[in-house]
């Protein structure tokens, strides 16, 4: 008898959580939830909280990826297929005469930001 009560209580809790999820995320069917959400639900986290945590983790990962991409973009000298972009390599600068260095000083400074 206690087993049936516990099972009934779990069923009511699950129905309540599903109703709460449907109210909070009406455009997201339960069948579309990723495995990571169901893993959290299996550990006792309510469906709505598990989904919110999943979305937050995805947003954070996207933000970190964006920051890394931006860092890489600032370090990159650009695509090789592009026409000369004004960036100079360290070897090109070392091969310049003092007069050429003075003439190209701003380009050299700008290029130095791309050197690792």
* Domain enclosing residue 106, as ranges: 82-116
- Mean pLDDT value of segment 85-101: 85
Q: State residue 78's pLDDT score.
A: 64
Output the DSSP codes for 18-68: HHHHHHH-TTS-GGG--HHHHHHHHTT--HHHHHHHHHHHHHHHHHHHHHH
Q: Which of 12-21, 44-53, 74-83 shows the lowest mean pLDDT across its residues?
A: 74-83
Helix (H) or strand (E) holding 6: helix 2-24
- Mean pLDDT value of segment 29-52: 93
70 with 89, same domain? Answer: no
Report how many domains make up the chain.
2
Q: Which residues of 38-77 are buried (b: 16+ CB within 10 A; e: fewer)?
A: eebbeeebbbbbbbbebeeeeeeeeeeeeeeeeeeeeeee
Q: What is the mean pLDDT of the chain?
A: 87
Statement: residue 53 has pLDDT above 50? yes
57 with 90, same domain? Answer: no
Q: State residue 55's pLDDT score.
A: 95
pTM for this structure? 0.57
Q: Which of 11-15, 43-47, 68-72, 75-79 shows the lowest mean pLDDT across its residues?
A: 75-79
27 with 64, same domain? Answer: yes
Angle of CA points 57, 61, 67, to nearest 5°: 145
pLDDT > 70 in the chain, percent: 91
103 with 49, same domain? Answer: no
């Amino acid at each position: 008898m206690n087993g049936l009560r516990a099972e009934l209580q779990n069923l009511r809790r699950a129905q309540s959580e599903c109703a709460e999820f449907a109210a909070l995320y009406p455009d997201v069917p339960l069948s579309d939830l990723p495995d990571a959400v169901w893993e959290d639900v299996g550990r006792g986290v309510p469906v709505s909280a598990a989904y919110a945590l999943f979305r937050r983790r995805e947003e954070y990962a996207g933000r970190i990826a964006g920051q890394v991409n931006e860092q890489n973009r600032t370090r990159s000298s650009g695509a090789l297929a592009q026409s000369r972009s004004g960036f100079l390599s360290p070897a090109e600068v070392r091969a310049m005469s003092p007069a050429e260095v003075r003439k190209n000083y701003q380009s050299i400074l700008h290029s130095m930001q791309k050197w690792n």
